[in-house]
């Protein structure tokens, strides 16, 4: 088993990459970046023993990103200011009242307009994918555990809150399946919601009792299990990420 990177490493990398992408405004580079980060995530997670519910984050984010590209393209093409250029096809124009002058719905769809809208969408999607990839590579919980000690307490509280979420999703789908197998379909989500609410109330009482009997909040000071150290590999990756920022400044602006 290879040692995993320090959780901050991936995030520093993600921020630097996002910076470069923001400056570049080049669709080809954006697509290359998405391809790059997803293959890194795939390779790292394939060899990793650590399977957190977050590991699948990137694939989920990619689906969302596709939806965003689609919506952005639709809006960019159908609504807004006409862009001159080669006309691909014409949409009927929807006339708006006088006070909304300057905004047009429909009209000529030019190649330039379509290209502009798609690349805008891809730009946003790339940023989402970069940060989702960082989440997939290190559980945000690991990152929270590296927080400086004065906000560590807050970090622990956040870890506790978000640990419950996957369980909640699992319970919801279990209840829904049970009700569907019984043949209850018409009640929709209201039946699930009530059962789920009651279960999570019972669960949170149990959780509070468990935390209480394990001494949470009893001692005024809290210690920290282990601080992860930066290894040479971490420093190399962070170093190259930091170089990326001035490099992209020089190239793109």
Residues in contact with another protein by CB under 8 A are 49-53, 139, 141, 145, 156, 159-160, 163, 166-167, 170, 174-175, 177-184, 187, 190-191, 194-195, 198, 202-203, 206-219, 221-226
CB–CB of 48/28 below 8 Å? Answer: no
User: Taking Cα atoms as reference points, which of 64, 72, 222 lies closest to residue 149?
Assistant: 222
The rounded distance, in Å, linking the Cα atoms of 243 and 40 is 20
The residue (of 76 and 140) whose beta carbon lies closer to another protein is: 140
Q: What share of the chain is helix, strand, coil (3-state, %, to 5)?
A: 70, 5, 25
The rounded distance, in Å, linking the Cα atoms of 43 and 130 is 16
The residue (of 111 and 167) whose beta carbon lies closer to another protein is: 167
The residue (of 102 and 186) whose beta carbon lies closer to another protein is: 186
The rounded distance, in Å, linking the Cα atoms of 85 and 111 is 7
The rounded distance, in Å, linking the Cα atoms of 203 and 163 is 12
The residue (of 223 and 253) whose beta carbon lies closer to another protein is: 223
**Residue 112 CB, nearest approach to another protein (Å):** 42
The residue (of 39 and 173) whose beta carbon lies closer to another protein is: 173
The residue (of 110 and 139) whose beta carbon lies closer to another protein is: 139
The rounded distance, in Å, linking the Cα atoms of 210 and 208 is 5
**Residue 151 CB, nearest approach to another protein (Å):** 15
Phi, then psi, of 228 in degrees rounded to 5: -80, 135
If you count them, how many residues does the chain have? Answer: 253
**Residue 4 CB, nearest approach to another protein (Å):** 8
**Residue 46 CB, nearest approach to another protein (Å):** 16
**Residue 147 CB, nearest approach to another protein (Å):** 13
- Give DSSP secondary structure letters for 127-169: HHHHHHHHHHHS-HHHHHTTS-HHHHHHHHHHHHHHHHHHHHH
**Residue 57 CB, nearest approach to another protein (Å):** 13
The rounded distance, in Å, linking the Cα atoms of 162 and 143 is 13
The residue (of 6 and 113) whose beta carbon lies closer to another protein is: 6
**Residue 198 CB, nearest approach to another protein (Å):** 5
């Amino acid at each position: 088993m290879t040692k995993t990177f320090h959780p901050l490493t991936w995030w520093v990398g993600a921020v630097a990459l996002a910076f470069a992408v923001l400056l570049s405004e080049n669709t080809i580079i954006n697509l290359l970046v998405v391809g790059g980060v997803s293959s890194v995530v795939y390779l790292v997670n394939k060899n990793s023993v650590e399977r957190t519910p977050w590991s699948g984050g990137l694939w989920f984010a990619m689906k969302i990103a596709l939806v965003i590209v689609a919506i952005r393209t639709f809006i960019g093409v159908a609504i807004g200011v006409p862009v001159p250029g080669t006309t691909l096809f014409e949409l009927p124009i929807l006339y708006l009242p006088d006070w909304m002058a300057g905004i047009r719905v429909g009209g000529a769809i030019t190649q330039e307009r379509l290209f502009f809208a798609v690349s805008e969408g891809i730009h946003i999607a790339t940023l989402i994918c970069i940060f989702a990839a960082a989440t997939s590579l290190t559980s945000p919980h690991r990152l929270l555990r590296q927080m400086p000690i004065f906000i560590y307490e807050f970090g622990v509280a956040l870890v506790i809150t978000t640990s419950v979420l996957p369980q909640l999703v699992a319970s919801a789908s279990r209840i829904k399946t049970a009700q569907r197998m019984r043949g209850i379909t018409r009640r929709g989500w209201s039946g699930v919601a009530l059962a789920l609410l009651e279960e999570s109330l019972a669960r949170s009482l149990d959780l509070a009792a468990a935390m209480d009997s394990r001494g949470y909040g009893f001692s005024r000071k809290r210690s920290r299990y282990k601080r992860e150290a930066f290894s040479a590999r971490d420093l190399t990756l962070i170093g190259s990420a930091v170089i990326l920022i001035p490099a992209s400044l020089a190239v793109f602006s």
